[in-house]
Amino acid sequence: MSDHRLGGQPWNSAIPYAPRLPAAALAGVRTRRIFAVVLDLIIVSLLSGGIWLGLSIVTLGLSWYLLPPIYPIVSFFYNGLTISGRGRGTPGMRAMDLEVRMTSGAPVPFLNAAAHAVLFYISWTFAPILLISLFSPEKRCLHDMLAGLVVTRRPD
């Protein structure tokens, strides 16, 4: 199946947003995203903890004052590299059978993927913003819309 197809339906790249995705592409996306986020938070926490511990040992604890931003930095690159990579999703998303694409159907560039992560973590400061996906026919959250992305099920 080519990169510009999803569920047998061709993406319309002539317009910036393809509003009619096949129902199968969106089935169970919200629930799967919740589980994917939990898995990804665990992975990012383990990575951040490992880096923190490694740097603490190497610097004999002198880097402790510089380490508080380690979690956001790891998260930024984790999301940016995994979503823009071949797998088109974080390990949590791939485990939940999800992928991320631009609304045109194109693969996601690193900057969009990293901005998506930043916007996601900012949206947690006012959690009711996440409820926008309940009213979006494409099950997109506000951070998806702002980054120009859509999260769907992986095609067979």
Length of the chain: 156
pLDDT at 1 over 50: no
Is pLDDT of 20 > 80? Answer: no
H or E segment at 1?
Answer: none
* pLDDT at residue 8 greater than cutoff 70: no
Residue of 89, 77, 72 whose CA lies nearest to 144: 89
Question: Is the pTM value of this prediction over 0.85?
Answer: no
Q: Which segments of the chain does DSSP mark as H helices, in order?
A: 23-26, 29-58, 70-83, 91-95, 110-123, 142-147
Terminal C-alpha separation, the chain: 9
Average pLDDT of the chain to the nearest whole number: 85
**Among the listed residues 110, 105, 106, 119, the one whose alpha carbon sits nearest the alpha carbon of residue 147:** 119
User: CB of 71 within 8 A of CB of 113?
Assistant: no
The model's pLDDT over 96-105, given as tens digits with 9 standing for 90+, comes to 999 999 988 8
Confidence of residue 2 (pLDDT cuts 50, 70, 90): very low
